A and B are shown apart, each in its own frame.
Chain A
């Protein structure tokens, strides 16, 4: 493991060196530049000045490519660092990625500072808000577990709005108190400044939260609470920040202004929501018509989302809310409309961009720490740190006490601790602090912000995992739901909806049913291509099963050994279990694994493309597979059986087909027909053989029916 690591470090170091040399404020004179001739433009290439001089074979024109070159270098550095991080064995288990990236950034910043003796390039707020933040939030929004999010929406809003308000006011006012106490050094920091600072430091940052919770696998209800809060508190933060900033510019502040500010929070949040909804629906509609040009279909997803973000930023609404809403809205329709390959492209691009963005953000955080403009003040910094922790903890405790009365699923004390402790600050605070109008103590604010960010990311980020383990937070269970669970859960859902109707109580099932009806009747008809409208999600699941069989998913979890000897098909069960777990509506949030940045095709991923393939080629060829399966298979030949599963497709004659390696640990030479039939009496053996041809014909008809249904 050491060699690739050192290799990547070497590469990084060389890149650093290069960047150190090439990032000065003015480009050095070209080494091969010919002596300037009178009347000639000095920065031209060697060609025009060559008349008296021989032709240059090789010359360097850095100026020409400077800007994109530097950007690419930074991205390359970030990606190599990330690569090195993942190759470094035990380190990721202890130190979250964000910490390591910041450390790399610190290193790079130090090198640049050492080489050039001036501050390294800082993360400009504009670049951050316009280019680096949207991909991350889009990725998060696209893979948001929708159902869970909406179930917990009340609680999330409660934490986001009220919690942020509590934190902002608390931190602002207490800091002002501290400034008054230490008026010798901090006397010129006014109340409004403190409130402004409070507004930007109180907000929990989705980027940091996401990156740390990657490593910590908490149950996803908890994950969605913290993450949802970090997403939605953007609205509040933006408004408060802008509010206090404009108050600072006003000569005086009246009560009316404060009231208007409150209304603005609502307007900003709802406005962002509406913008996102609009663009989401338009994107869904557009994707309906992309069948003739499937290659650019993914582009629309990104374009519309980014457009929604920019539009709401333009209108001073909450961009994060807009982009998240857009992603959540358009997702199911886009997935239905667009081909499988496009779906995968969309997901991979999202992950890639958000990964790059996140890495860049953290590295720049590290780089920007090395600066000349720090101003230190022990009381201010330490009291800020303390107050952040204290106010967050108290806020969470109080709010949870209230909200637990209204929730079915109470937020336990351990969950509360994780919510409070997992409130990390990140690059949003950092960018916001740079945007403050200049005033004497601005540098102090910057320093304090950086300290708080570093503290939360490093200390809280590193200790949260051991603390979680210590407190035995209810971890997500790895078990996948079975077909029975899905079906019975669906039954229970319908039952509960019915009982609620009887009782006349409009619980969450009622609204969910109503939305589903509306969705089915109007939205899906309008926004999804005709040939893609699947009738029922159990059918969709079934189709998905077929599809994945054909793609030869090798991720079959080991089969429960007591399934041996059944007349029916355990392998199919695994497949359908996998498919169901990824596709059907999640009914119990304890079962669903939380969103994972680094994984797409794992059991840990949340949502899956549900659409069957365009070309149901395998549907038409069940006959040929039968002959294949009749040949006796040897269990040792894993590849053959693996490939076999791919080709078996719909014929699904796994009883006669070969086994996946996991199935037969004790059956070294299992023949195709007899693989799990050894313990069984011969009649069962023959009957399963008997069944197989019938099964196959049945499945053959089945596949054709399926195909016909699709075409209708």
Chain B
């Protein structure tokens, strides 16, 4: 496995990934070895089954949605670039990045993009709105079976009510951002990737 890993990942690719995601060289190689260890089929891409084989992910209430988030629209396989692109959202925001040239495009791990990632966990149909049903689905996953539908519905209603400013009974992305403005998303949604 090890030798295959190093041959399959060329320097140019590493550079490209580095530029796109901001990970360091060693982080990329380390994550690549993780990628290949997950890739049981050894075809350079991961399928949903590969993810589901991770035991803790299986018992995570949002496991399916998280797995889904790795796969681009209507595709069943994700390659290493896609894998890294998703993981890049969880890179901690470093101070020197905050002052970067704003015209260079927003980095993947910016606050907005982090929130967009979380938003997309709710918004399955990608209509840029979290409807009451979508919210209910996620709440049901997080809360389990011991709470009644009515109670859950009330909680969902309250959640929407707190966020909803234009009265369409659903949460748009901007409303989502506004509701979470006091939460330290940069810190919460960051993983310290080992160097």
Chain A: residues with CB nearer than 8 A to chain B? 408-409, 477, 479, 481-485, 487-505, 507, 510, 513, 535-536, 538-539, 542, 563, 566, 568-569, 572-573, 576, 587-588, 590-591, 698-699, 701-702, 705-706, 709
- How far apart are A707's CB and chain B's nearest CB, in angstroms? 11
Interface centre among A502, A510, A702 (most CB of B within 10 A): A502
B161 at the interface (CB under 8 A from A): yes
- How far apart are A403's CB and chain B's nearest CB, in angstroms? 14
**Quick one: closest A residue to B118, CB to CB?**
A492
**Quick one: closest B residue to A488, CB to CB?**
B180
CB-CB under 8 A from B176, the residues of chain A are 488
CB-CB under 8 A from A498, the residues of chain B are 56-57, 60, 62-63, 66
Q: Which one of B38, B118, B138, B182 contacts A479 once the chains associate, using CB atoms below 8 Å? A: B182
Chain B: residues with CB nearer than 8 A to chain A? 31, 34, 37-38, 51, 54, 56-57, 60-63, 66, 70, 87, 90, 92, 117-118, 121-122, 138-139, 142-144, 146-148, 150-151, 154-155, 157-159, 161-163, 176, 179-180, 182-185, 187-194
**Quick one: closest B residue to A535, CB to CB?**
B146
- Flag if B183 contacts A485 (CB, 8 Å): yes
Are A536 and B158 CB-contacts (below 8 A) given A492-B118, A503-B87, A590-B184?
no
Q: Which one of B54, B118, B192 contacts A501 once the chains associate, using CB atoms below 8 Å? A: B54
**Quick one: closest A residue to B163, CB to CB?**
A484
Q: Which one of B142, B151, B182 contacts A542 once the chains associate, using CB atoms below 8 Å? A: B151
- How far apart are A55's CB and chain B's nearest CB, in angstroms? 74
CB-CB under 8 A from B56, the residues of chain A are 497-498, 501, 510, 513
Are A538 and B155 CB-contacts (below 8 A) given A494-B62, A502-B54?
yes
Are A698 and B183 CB-contacts (below 8 A) given A495-B62, A499-B66, A538-B143?
no
**Quick one: closest B residue to A504, CB to CB?**
B34
- Flag if A491 contacts B118 (CB, 8 Å): yes
Are A502 and B66 CB-contacts (below 8 A) given A484-B179, A496-B191, A572-B158?
yes
Are A709 and B146 CB-contacts (below 8 A) given A492-B185, A587-B188?
yes
A539 to B148, CA, bound (A): 9
A698 to B148, CA, bound (A): 11
- How far apart are B151's CB and chain A's nearest CB, in angstroms? 6
CB-CB under 8 A from B90, the residues of chain A are 496, 499
- Flag if B188 contacts A496 (CB, 8 Å): yes
- How far apart are B155's CB and chain A's nearest CB, in angstroms? 7
CB-CB under 8 A from B61, the residues of chain A are 494
A494 to B61, CA, bound (A): 7
- Flag if B194 contacts A505 (CB, 8 Å): yes
**Quick one: closest B residue to A507, CB to CB?**
B191
- Flag if B34 contacts A535 (CB, 8 Å): no
CB-CB under 8 A from B51, the residues of chain A are 502
**Quick one: closest A residue to B57, CB to CB?**
A501
- How far apart are B174's CB and chain A's nearest CB, in angstroms? 14
- Flag if B150 contacts A497 (CB, 8 Å): no
- Flag if A496 contacts B146 (CB, 8 Å): no
**Quick one: closest A residue to B55, CB to CB?**
A501
Interface centre among B87, B183, B194 (most CB of A within 10 A): B183
20 more CB-based (< 8 A) A-B contacts, given A490-B142, A535-B146: A408-B190, A477-B182, A484-B159, A487-B139, A487-B159, A491-B62, A491-B142, A492-B118, A495-B117, A496-B188, A498-B56, A498-B63, A501-B54, A507-B192, A513-B56, A539-B151, A563-B161, A573-B162, A702-B154, A709-B148
CB-CB under 8 A from A705, the residues of chain B are 148, 150
Are A573 and B183 CB-contacts (below 8 A) given A495-B62, A499-B66, A501-B57?
no
CB-CB under 8 A from B117, the residues of chain A are 495
Q: List 28 A-B contacts (CB under 8 A).
A: A481-B183, A482-B179, A484-B162, A484-B180, A485-B179, A485-B183, A488-B176, A488-B180, A488-B183, A489-B183, A490-B142, A492-B188, A496-B90, A497-B60, A498-B56, A498-B60, A499-B191, A502-B51, A502-B70, A502-B87, A503-B87, A535-B144, A535-B146, A536-B146, A566-B161, A568-B158, A568-B161, A706-B151
CB-CB under 8 A from B139, the residues of chain A are 487, 538
CB-CB under 8 A from A502, the residues of chain B are 38, 51, 54, 57, 66, 70, 87
A569 to B57, CA, bound (A): 37
Q: Which one of B54, B122, B161, B182 contacts A485 once the chains associate, using CB atoms below 8 Å? A: B182
Name the 3 nearest CB pairs between A and B, nearest first. Answer: A535-B146, A498-B66, A501-B56
A496 to B89, CA, bound (A): 11
- Flag if A409 contacts B187 (CB, 8 Å): yes
CB-CB under 8 A from A510, the residues of chain B are 56
A490 to B183, CA, bound (A): 12
A672 to B191, CA, bound (A): 51
A124 to B161, CA, bound (A): 60
- Flag if B191 contacts A536 (CB, 8 Å): no
- Flag if B147 contacts A542 (CB, 8 Å): yes
- Flag if A539 contacts B62 (CB, 8 Å): no
CB-CB under 8 A from B163, the residues of chain A are 484
A99 to B70, CA, bound (A): 59
Are A503 and B191 CB-contacts (below 8 A) given A484-B162, A491-B138, A495-B118?
yes
A709 to B147, CA, bound (A): 9
- Flag if A536 contacts B182 (CB, 8 Å): no
- How far apart are A458's CB and chain B's nearest CB, in angstroms? 36
